[in-house]
Amino acid sequence: MAPSRDAVLARLLELIQPFNAKAVPLAEDTRFADDLEFDSLTVMDLVANMEDEWDINVPLNLLPDLETIGQVADAIVKLKAGA
Amino acid sequence: MTDLLAKFDSIRAEYDFLKGTGLSDPFGVVMERVLSPTRAIIRGRETILVGTYNYMGMTFDPDVIAAGKAAMDTFGAGSTGSRVLNGTFATHVAVEQALKDFYGTSSAIVFSTGYQANLGMVSTLAGKDDVILLDADSHASIYDGCKLGHAEVVRFRHNDAADLEKRLRRVPAGKGKLVILEGVYSMLGDVAPLRDLVAVSKAAGAMVLVDEAHAMGFFGPHGRGVYEEQGLEDQVDFVVGTFSKSVGTVGGFAVSNHPHFEILRLVCNPYRFTASLPPVVAASAEASIRKLMTATDKRARLWAASRRLHASLKGAGFRMATETPESAIIAVLMPTQEECVIMWSALLDQGIYCNLSRPPATPMGVYLLRCSLSSEHSLDDVDEITRRFVAARAATQALAA
């Protein structure tokens, strides 16, 4: 069964936390580049962890459109439903 | 009006700061004269070149130069045209034949640069219903090929066959799959475990492309690359390479035994919408490739020099990017950007040119002083390089104290 969006978001926040070096408060509208200041290497690690957590492939082509935590949660739910 | 160059302000500020320190500009080196594959005049001073990828020292080979001169006299300075229009000369056909002979393949296609070879192969092989799986540490030309094409792109952890296998398993049934690997990764100089990576790729029904740019001439019984050394010639579908390293000129290529490989000439934009190589380059490359087929002495000298540099720098207390010398790229890890630039500049003052490499070109955010050896470096050269590394380190420590 596909996980609920709430469950995805909760787990996503846990996955982001180890990379959140500046302890920025995390919310749906937190932006990866502007608020969390993630560089491309951090994004790479986080994406790989997300892929393994939900057993999905997150295509690189999607990444430019995923600016906020909420958008990533939506994308995971969608990828999980399609898998 | 929005200044379109303003988006580069932070990089510009960083670069201006670097130039303001009085250190040499690592991205502004000018070779005033080139004396040999291992020596050039930089800032009026004879410098040992240890960062040119001139692995087999072919740039000044007399036969290579003679072949180029003859082609220049016969065919003129340039082709002024695409390979599929007026830009295929006898020299281009001859260099493709030399590649087929070197690799033992039924087809070879030459591109105008190695960058374009990857751009063309990656963007054309995988279409919109296909999935590309690429190693996270892939060269920029491979990433750019992904951007140019329409396939879905999935990245796997560097040299990790289990990670690749998981991602292959998640690709929906019925999709075409292209796995992209490199024999030698050019930043750290590490060699890929191609046997494992290719095995999981083939088990999943994927086609495999291996970029052997940094292995041509000195890996495998025929010098074809890491894939040959690891016994994968009947497993790898496409091999990409370059003329700008071991061959000693410029250009790129792909070779394959696929019966329909030649169709790419008609559908690959980075192949057909650019001018072909100048005949002087094609003829030089052909002469060089033919000599590389039997260059066993050069190969032995290159390996001896690479092993000796790794051992001596390690012995002198430098932190090496690989535990053992895996290729002809011997990279030294530096703790910070600042220390890396200062050391690089001190090395140039000592008459040593190596590459300064930094993120995003490097993996894991590391800063590197990257050396690449040539068959024309004598063992005395290697000892001299190490002595100058030690002297440069002493100079930077005196500066810091």
Q: What is the ipTM of this complex?
A: 0.88
Element (H, E) at B99: helix B90-103
Contacts of B166 in chain A (CB under 8 A): 51-52, 55
Confidence at B22, pLDDT banded by 50, 70, 90: confident
Which residues lie closer than 8 Å to B182 by C-beta, 6 or more apart?
B135, B137, B138, B139, B192, B210, B211, B212, B213, B214
Contacts of B364 in chain A (CB under 8 A): 41
**Residue in B183, B181, B137 with CA at minimum distance from that of residue B327:** B183
Query: How many angstroms separate the CA of residue B326 from the nearest CA in chain A?
Result: 25
Range list of β-strands (E), A1-83: none
The encoded tokens of residue B303 equal: 């390996």
Confidence at B18, pLDDT banded by 50, 70, 90: confident
CA pair distance B49, B27, nearest whole angstrom: 15
Give the residue-averaged pLDDT of B137-155: 96
* B154:A44 CB<8 A: no
Q: Which of A44, A55, A60 sits opposite B153 (nearest CB)?
A: A60
Which pLDDT does position B361 carry in this prediction?
84
Which pLDDT does position B400 carry in this prediction?
73
CA pair distance B120, B275, nearest whole angstrom: 14
Strand, coil or helix: B307? helix
Element (H, E) at B83: none
Instruction: Check whether B270 has a pLDDT greater than 90.
Output: yes
| A10: contact with B, CB 8 A cutoff | no
pLDDT in tens, B366-387: 999 999 999 999 999 999 999 9
Question: B349 and B342 in contact (C-beta within 8 Å)?
Answer: no
| A83: contact with B, CB 8 A cutoff | yes
Range list of β-strands (E), B112-172: 130-135, 152-156
| A57: contact with B, CB 8 A cutoff | yes
* A57:B364 CB<8 A: no
Count the alpha carbons within 13 Å of A76 in the hemisphere toward its beta carbon: 28
Chain position carrying tokens 């050039």: B40
Domains of chain B as residue ranges with CATH: 12-56+295-400 (3.90.1150.10), 62-292 (3.40.640.10)
pTM of the model: 0.95
Instruction: Check whether B319 has a pLDDT greater than 90.
Output: yes
* A61:B167 CB<8 A: no
pLDDT in tens, B221-268: 999 999 999 999 999 999 999 999 999 999 999 999 999 999 999 999
Number of DSSP helices (H) and strands (E) in chain B, helices first: 14, 14
Pairing between strand B33-36 and B352-353?
A: unpaired
Which residues lie closer than 8 Å to B333 by C-beta, 6 or more apart?
B319, B320, B321, B366, B367, B368
Which pLDDT does position A83 carry in this prediction?
59
**Residue in B83, B135, B374 with CA at minimum distance from that of residue B252:** B83
Contacts of A47 in chain B (CB under 8 A): 155
> Please, which residues 35-54 of chain A have a Cβ atom closer than 8 Å to chain B?
39-41, 44, 47-48, 51-52
* B136:A61 CB<8 A: no
| A75: contact with B, CB 8 A cutoff | no
* A57:B170 CB<8 A: yes
Checking B392-396 for CB contacts under 8 A at 24+ apart, the result is B392/B343, B392/B346, B392/B347, B392/B349, B392/B350, B392/B352, B393/B318, B393/B343, B393/B346, B395/B346, B395/B349, B395/B350, B396/B339, B396/B342, B396/B343, B396/B346
Domains of chain A as residue ranges with CATH: 5-82 (1.10.1200.10)
